[in-house]
A and B are shown apart, each in its own frame.
Chain A
Amino acid sequence: MSETTAIPEIRARAAEKKSPRGKTFAEHALVQLTIVRFLETLREPEALFWIFAFPILLAAGLGLAFRNKPAEVLKIAATSRAITQSLQREKLLAVQQMDSHDAEEALRTGKIALLAVPGENGAVTYRYDDTNPEGRTARMLADRAVQQAAGRVDPVHASDEILREPGSRYIDFLIPGLIGMNLMGSAIWGMGFTVVDARRKKLLKRLVATPMPKPYFLLAYLLSRILMLVLEVGIVLGFGAWIFHVPVRGSLLSLAAVCLIGSLAFSALGLLLASRARTIEAASGLMNAVMLPMWIASGVFFSAQRFPDVVQPIIKALPLTAAIDALRANMLQGANLVQLGPQMGVLAVWMIVSFVLALKLFRWR
């Protein structure tokens, strides 16, 4: 064994080699871990679909379905010629004259909202369903037309000025909801699946066997999330602003702050959910169990106010509710960071508690 090296010699060599020439920025472990994480996400076509294409498709579809149409013309019918003529004065009503058999049929099948039938001495009877808003509106419009035709003069002269402003439509409500949902989904899935997959493949164990500082690994996840964040929020927001003219009334800076703290809170939650699971199935069940209630209760698609008052405090404490409320307040009402304080606070608490717990529970192998 001519090559035998004694231990003191090895230690000396180690000391001598340890005159690092200094690493460039790109050679730093944290930078490398972040780059690698980012590349892995970009090379996952399915993930890219869910992060980028899905919210846009959803926004486009729902935006079309619930677009505000010009005030609708209501279809009604009358069985006498005189009433038909009086009703035609009202531009918001489309009046048809029918014989009573056809008219009854049309009313029953919902083809018309109201049927006006002449009574004795020039009286009129309106037949309609009072639980149907269209029926009630038709009743008001039809009666006004009939009364005015009979000579009624309104004591006050009124005129209309029509305003259709962005900010109060369904799409304006929806886009912040979708951004919030996307923040949650991409952070929790992005964290959860990749961490559990790396654990399953023993890649975590391999990394722990290197001198890699462990916090760097988790930090790199958060940093690469912030990189992705710029893209994923930017695309949905840009799409909403460009196609639907969804307003952003608050400052972009506070919007960025909301997105950042929201994404970090969800990432921490994702890390917590993935901190122990050894299989994708276990992690995925856990993640869905956590996210599903929030999809429903946190007001992505409809206002969270619809739920009973008793559960409102719980709903308000959910991170997705806080994120979406803050996004809506910023985009639609122009709220500043001070006004968003409560929501930011809720997100900060979720972030800190989840991250601390995740660090405690995290299993590297």
Chain B
Amino acid sequence: MPAASSNAALRVTGLRKAYQDVVAVNGLDLEVRAGECFGLLGPNGAGKTTTVEICEGLTVPDSGEVELLGMHWSSEAEQLRQRLGIQLQDTQLSEKLTVHETLRLFRSFFDQGPGADEAIALVQLEEKKNSRVGNLSGGQKQRLALACALVGDPDFLFLDEPTTGLDPQARRQLWDLIEQFKSSGRTILLTTHYMDEAERLCERVAIMDNGKQIALGTPRELIASICAEHLVAFSAGAKSQSLDLPALRKISGVRDVRSEKGTVEMQVTELHLAVPALLAELTRQNIPLTELSTHSATLEDVFVSLTGRHLRDE
């Protein structure tokens, strides 16, 4: 084993996968370091799930190479399976089985790992132990799916959109569980289209769009890369047509201005200087404000600044 790879739990090079007429993954390189939580971000259809399923050995790539925990799917699939914890996007576990029966089943596939009861405690489902899966809430089902991924005591955990469709409280609960697992030093690859999830859980993130990686770094680095710490958005109502945008760009501390459907978004470095200047400029142009808001820059803003699109264009 070359020394260079000793710290990479997952190394993906030149990955390519096309379905009929869609190229899902188009020449992707990734490296996930041992012990980190790595986030794969992107909108729906960016190729996240295809990438993850290739890494999980469920899909065969058209070309490219995957090295996972120093092993390869072609030669060491069986050993690899024992070492992985996998949570797939929208798997429905058998509704007629209880939580305990489900975990006992999954535990039976692995050589070692926590027992069913221990796994139930791990995801705090003790009081639902004997409930049928069909009677669980969405959050409880996701926690059960996580427990199914943990029963083999995995060294590498794949989580494909673990909190999609959950209410905020259930999401936070799941985040706590994932953080607990992280603290035990294991490696996680997480896909999500929630930027707050990635910011909270991931050491490093790669942003994917159209099957390619378009950015890579820690959440902080990525946010810093758009050279703006704050976002200011305002709306000028009916008068927005007569707005002089170039004049706004000249305000000191403003990096970028874009206008969309009557709302103007400005990337700003020094909020305390930019906002008074903005108000003065609007007064000069004789434009009344109907709405004004500011927030700290997020990964969502990184995605918008890179692609010009929002992550979830509903």
CB-CB under 8 A for A7 and B91, given A1-B33, A28-B108: no
Q: Is B96 a contact partner of A39 (Cβ separation < 8 A)?
A: yes
A20 to B108, CA, bound (A): 12
Most chain A C-beta atoms within 10 Å of own C-beta, residue among B5, B8, B107, B109: B109
Q: Is B152 a contact partner of A211 (Cβ separation < 8 A)?
A: yes
A208 near B: Cβ within 8 Å? yes
A13 to B82, CA, bound (A): 13
B101 near A: Cβ within 8 Å? yes
B293 near A: Cβ within 8 Å? no
B106 near A: Cβ within 8 Å? yes
Q: Is A43 a contact partner of B34 (Cβ separation < 8 A)?
A: no
Partner of B96, one of A7, A27, A43: A43
- The interface residues of chain A, by DSSP majority, are classed as helix
A324 to B36, CA, bound (A): 63
A100 to B186, CA, bound (A): 104
- By beta carbon, the residue of chain A nearest B84 is A209
Q: Is B33 a contact partner of A4 (Cβ separation < 8 A)?
A: yes
Q: Is B88 a contact partner of A211 (Cβ separation < 8 A)?
A: no
Q: Is A29 a contact partner of B69 (Cβ separation < 8 A)?
A: no
B155 near A: Cβ within 8 Å? yes
Interface string of A1-32 (1 = CB under 8 A from B): 10111111111011001101001000111011
Cβ of B164 to closest chain A Cβ, rounded Å: 14
Interface string of B102-126 (1 = CB under 8 A from A): 0011111111100000000000000
Q: Which residues of B contact A208 (CB under 8 A)?
A: 58
A212 near B: Cβ within 8 Å? yes
Partner of B108, one of A4, A6, A11, A32: A32
- By beta carbon, the residue of chain A nearest B104 is A32
Q: Is B94 a contact partner of A206 (Cβ separation < 8 A)?
A: no
Q: Is B105 a contact partner of A1 (Cβ separation < 8 A)?
A: no
A201 near B: Cβ within 8 Å? yes
Q: Which residues of B contact A201 (CB under 8 A)?
A: 91-92
Q: Which residues of A contact B96 (CB under 8 A)?
A: 39-40, 43-44
Q: Which residues of A contact B79 (CB under 8 A)?
A: 14
Partner of A4, one of B1, B36, B105: B36
A4 to B148, CA, bound (A): 24
- By beta carbon, the residue of chain B nearest A21 is B112
A187 to B78, CA, bound (A): 32
Chain A interface size, under 10 / 10 to 19 / 20 to 34 / 35 or more: 35 or more
A10 to B88, CA, bound (A): 23
A58 near B: Cβ within 8 Å? no
A245 near B: Cβ within 8 Å? no
- By beta carbon, the residue of chain A nearest B110 is A211
A210 near B: Cβ within 8 Å? yes
Q: Is A20 a contact partner of B112 (Cβ separation < 8 A)?
A: yes
Q: Which residues of A contact B8 (CB under 8 A)?
A: 7
User: Which of chain B's residues 196-233 have a Cβ closer than 8 Å to chain A?
Assistant: 203
Cβ of B254 to closest chain A Cβ, rounded Å: 36
B90 near A: Cβ within 8 Å? yes
Q: Is B94 a contact partner of A203 (Cβ separation < 8 A)?
A: yes
- By beta carbon, the residue of chain A nearest B182 is A3
Q: Is B58 a contact partner of A36 (Cβ separation < 8 A)?
A: no
User: Which of chain A's residues 178-220 have a Cβ closer than 8 Å to chain B?
Assistant: 198, 201-203, 205-206, 208-212
A116 near B: Cβ within 8 Å? no
Partner of A36, one of B35, B94, B185, B203: B94
A27 to B90, CA, bound (A): 27
Q: Is A27 a contact partner of B108 (Cβ separation < 8 A)?
A: yes
Most chain B C-beta atoms within 10 Å of own C-beta, residue among A35, A210, A211: A210
A363 near B: Cβ within 8 Å? no
A365 near B: Cβ within 8 Å? yes
A203 to B102, CA, bound (A): 12
A40 to B33, CA, bound (A): 41
Most chain B C-beta atoms within 10 Å of own C-beta, residue among A14, A39, A40, A209: A209
Q: Is B6 a contact partner of A6 (Cβ separation < 8 A)?
A: yes
A23 to B83, CA, bound (A): 18
User: Which of chain B's residues 61-92 have a Cβ closer than 8 Å to chain A?
Assistant: 69-70, 78-79, 81-84, 86, 88, 90-92
CB-CB under 8 A for A27 and B33, given A3-B183, A36-B101, A209-B58: no
Q: Is B83 a contact partner of A14 (Cβ separation < 8 A)?
A: yes
A33 near B: Cβ within 8 Å? yes
A14 to B70, CA, bound (A): 12
A341 to B83, CA, bound (A): 49
CB-CB under 8 A for A36 and B105, given A10-B155, A13-B155, A201-B92: yes
Q: Is A210 a contact partner of B70 (Cβ separation < 8 A)?
A: no
Q: Is B81 a contact partner of A210 (Cβ separation < 8 A)?
A: yes
Partner of B91, one of A8, A9, A202: A202
B279 near A: Cβ within 8 Å? no
Q: Which residues of B contact A20 (CB under 8 A)?
A: 111-112
Q: Which residues of B contact A29 (CB under 8 A)?
A: 108-109
A29-B108, A205-B58, A365-B58 are known contacts; what are 9 more A-B pairs with Cβ within 8 Å?
A4-B33, A6-B6, A17-B111, A17-B153, A23-B108, A28-B108, A40-B96, A43-B96, A198-B94
Some 13 contacts from A to B, beta carbons below 8 A apart, are: A1-B33, A3-B185, A4-B36, A7-B5, A14-B69, A18-B112, A27-B107, A29-B108, A36-B94, A205-B91, A209-B58, A211-B110, A212-B109
Interface of B toward A, CB cutoff 8 Å: 1, 5-9, 33-36, 56-58, 69-70, 78-79, 81-84, 86, 88, 90-94, 96-97, 101, 104-112, 148, 152-153, 155, 182-183, 185-187, 203
Interface of A toward B, CB cutoff 8 Å: 1, 3-11, 13-14, 17-18, 20, 23, 27-29, 31-33, 35-36, 39-40, 43-44, 198, 201-203, 205-206, 208-212, 365
Closest 5 CB pairs of A and B: A201-B92, A211-B81, A32-B108, A4-B35, A3-B185
